[in-house]
Amino acid sequence: MEQQDYIIELRNVRKKFDDADDYVVENFNLKVKKGEFVTFLGPSGCGKTTTLRMIAGFDTPTEGEILLKGVDISKLPPYKRPINTVFQKYALFPTMNVFDNVAFGLKIKKVPVKVKKNGQEVVKMVHLTKDIIKQKVQKALEIVDLEQFETRDIQTLSGGQQQRVAIARAIVNEPEILLLDEPLGALDLKMRKEMQLELKEMHRKLGITFIYVTHDQEEALTMSDTIVVMSDGFIQQIGEPKQIYDEPANAFVADFIGESNIYSGTIFPDHKVKILNKLFPMVDDFPLHEKVDVVLRPEDIIISKPGEGTVDGVIKSKIFKGIHYQYVIMVGKNEVTAQSTLSLPVDEKVSISITPENIHIMKRDATINAYDGYITKNNKVCFAEYDWECDVTQLLKGSSIDEDGYLVGPDHKKYDLTDAEVKVDVDLNKVMISDNVDECEVTGQIIQMVYKGDHYQYLVRNENDDFIVENEWTWNEGDIVGVTINKEDIKLKLKGDIKQYEL
């Protein structure tokens, strides 16, 4: 596709606020086609609004470029961009009627016209005529389906109608791009659903580019041509709704979009993956023995009589969902969420299977916590901004520590390991988190969490470092937790030769 076919492009955009240490938007690359409906989707605080505000011109990128039809606009003030924004808080003028609210911007706007002065053609800035303003407002109100509401007081309108006025006010300027920041957030569920369809229709009628922000995955799936899934300032995946649902790029996306069962698995010979303690046939190509994440959508689980499927289990709970039942089936210690139109009693023994095409395998982001560290003079190891108790004798087979704190080899050679650089590995299930923040070495915040059938996987962040933690206890995103690691669970590998530390 030619460069000019993209109306807006973000290239390597990063944003850090003046008083913050961290970037809230990282390495953001996106190309938006003219007329596309693009949605930024992600949990609260992941950087959606900040990215939108940079496109609008209310914030400037710390690094990177924002191109409009190939021209960098990152330094251009908002009013010079052919872009308008609709916010969740509509910010309408309460004392004005619908017409005046929509016309407000047009009344103060000046446009260039060519006039003759002393026989010469000059450009003069003039206000729009009343007739033109009227025509434009009527057209905008028609698009949002409020033609009959021109003289109505804003305060007499419902939430949904007020939101439509806010949209009319934004589109009356005929922008090339409309930015919408959680525009339906203040509406009740029914109104929200109606407005989703209406917004989609408005997008079709207007033919302009929409960039939409939401944390509601269903809204994103219903409305968008393209979804940009974000987490923690990073783009996790860009794709069409169906592609994102059917082929999530990682466990975070799978967990965030739709309902899913996510398990840690291992690849076995003959196109099989081991999950739920059984081998399931699959179609994806992955290297043998690779540790993977596996996603099974509840609607893809086939329930049959015991012994007929791949693995047996027992129904633990049953909820009626309108067109189907939703079951939680216990397979050993693992929970499997399944949907079926069959009505089966709780405690019934069943079997489950999944067709190979519906077993979605993803590369695991991390299988271990790995850090670069160094040994302190007390034989501790410094990583993740803390000096941890560790066993340095693992760096030399058969060694011990003498009373002066030197490492002594089996050949009685002595080593001073102070400042020795090491690689540190800690298994995911060996990092412990607790609510007793005061009693722990390090504190961190839970940034992400994914449920994996019989345990949770958490991403815990302290100042600059991340811990990936697996355990069966429930915390919430945003919780502050203490982090501890037992001395024997810290695995060290020396960078370079131990000889350089010999005394």
Of 24 and 468, nearer to ligand ATP (C-beta) is 24
Instruction: In angstroms, give the least distance from the CB of 25 to ligand ATP.
Output: 7
Instruction: In angstroms, give the least distance from the CB of 18 to ligand ATP.
Output: 8
Site string for ligand ATP, 267-286 (x = CB under 6 A): --------------------
Q: Which of these, 457, 496, 494, lies nearest to 473 by C-alpha position?
A: 457
Binding of ligand ATP at residue 47 (CB under 6 A)? yes
Whether residue 408 contacts residue 400, with contact meaning beta carbons closer than 8 Å, is answered with yes
**Binding region for ligand ATP (CB under 6 A) out of 41-49, 412-420, 464-472, 490-498:** 41-49
User: Which residue in the set 9, 13, 32, 50 belongs to the binding site for ligand ATP (CB under 6 A)?
Assistant: 50
Of 21 and 270, nearer to ligand ATP (C-beta) is 21
SS3 101: helix
**Binding region for ligand ATP (CB under 6 A) out of 45-53, 194-202, 239-247, 403-411:** 45-53
Instruction: In angstroms, give the least distance from the CB of 80 to ligand ATP.
Output: 22
Residue 235: phi and psi, rounded to 5, are -75, 130
Cα(42)–Cα(23) distance, rounded to whole angstroms? Answer: 16
Strand pairing report for 368-375 and 421-427: antiparallel
Instruction: In angstroms, give the least distance from the CB of 50 to ligand ATP.
Output: 3
Of 49 and 250, nearer to ligand ATP (C-beta) is 49
Instruction: In angstroms, give the least distance from the CB of 157 to ligand ATP.
Output: 25
Q: Which of these, 415, 418, 394, lies nearest to 489 by C-alpha position?
A: 394
Per the listing, tokens 């960078």 go with: 495
Which amino acid is present at 233?
A: G
Cα(307)–Cα(259) distance, rounded to whole angstroms? Answer: 26
Of 156 and 445, nearer to ligand ATP (C-beta) is 445
User: Which residue in the set 27, 33, 34, 45 belongs to the binding site for ligand ATP (CB under 6 A)?
Assistant: 45
Instruction: In angstroms, give the least distance from the CB of 160 to ligand ATP.
Output: 21
- Token reading at 414: 């002595």
Cα(298)–Cα(354) distance, rounded to whole angstroms? Answer: 10
Whether residue 325 contacts residue 318, with contact meaning beta carbons closer than 8 Å, is answered with yes
**Binding region for ligand ATP (CB under 6 A) out of 17-25, 127-135, 141-149, 151-159:** 17-25
Give the torsion sign (CA, 230, 236, 239, 244). negative
Of 157 and 180, nearer to ligand ATP (C-beta) is 180
Instruction: In angstroms, give the least distance from the CB of 180 to ligand ATP.
Output: 13
Instruction: In angstroms, give the least distance from the CB of 42 to ligand ATP.
Output: 6
How many residues touch ligand ATP (CB under 6 A)? Answer: 12
Of 40 and 149, nearer to ligand ATP (C-beta) is 40
Cα(378)–Cα(500) distance, rounded to whole angstroms? Answer: 19
DSSP string, 145-191: T-GGGTT-BGGGS-HHHHHHHHHHHHHTT--SEEEEESTTTTS-HHH
Instruction: In angstroms, give the least distance from the CB of 255 to ligand ATP.
Output: 17
Q: Hey, which residues between 196 and 215 contact ligand ATP (CB under 6 A)?
A: 215
Binding of ligand ATP at residue 378 (CB under 6 A)? no
Whether residue 49 contacts residue 88, with contact meaning beta carbons closer than 8 Å, is answered with no
Of 61 and 265, nearer to ligand ATP (C-beta) is 61
Ranges assigned E (strand) in 311-441: 311-320, 325-331, 334-340, 349-353, 360-363, 368-375, 380-383, 386-389, 400-401, 407-408, 414-415, 421-427, 431-434
Of 381 and 459, nearer to ligand ATP (C-beta) is 459
Cα(146)–Cα(126) distance, rounded to whole angstroms? Answer: 29
User: Which residue in the set 31, 48, 430, 455 belongs to the binding site for ligand ATP (CB under 6 A)?
Assistant: 48
Instruction: In angstroms, give the least distance from the CB of 456 to ligand ATP.
Output: 22
Binding of ligand ATP at residue 17 (CB under 6 A)? yes
Q: Hey, which residues between 215 and 234 contact ligand ATP (CB under 6 A)?
A: 215
Q: Which of these, 337, 313, 334, 307, lies nearest to 325 by C-alpha position?
A: 337
**Binding region for ligand ATP (CB under 6 A) out of 47-55, 78-86, 271-279, 287-295:** 47-55
- Measured from the Cβ of residue 44, the count of other Cβ atoms closer than 10 Å reads 9
Strand partners, 273: 267, 280
Cα(445)–Cα(447) distance, rounded to whole angstroms? Answer: 6
Helices (H), 207-305: 217-223, 241-246, 251-256
Of 15 and 452, nearer to ligand ATP (C-beta) is 15
Instruction: In angstroms, give the least distance from the CB of 41 to ligand ATP.
Output: 9
Of 43 and 409, nearer to ligand ATP (C-beta) is 43
User: Which residue in the set 7, 32, 38, 42 belongs to the binding site for ligand ATP (CB under 6 A)?
Assistant: 42
Of 63 and 387, nearer to ligand ATP (C-beta) is 63
Binding-site ranges for ligand ATP (CB under 6 A) = 17, 20, 24, 42, 44-50, 215
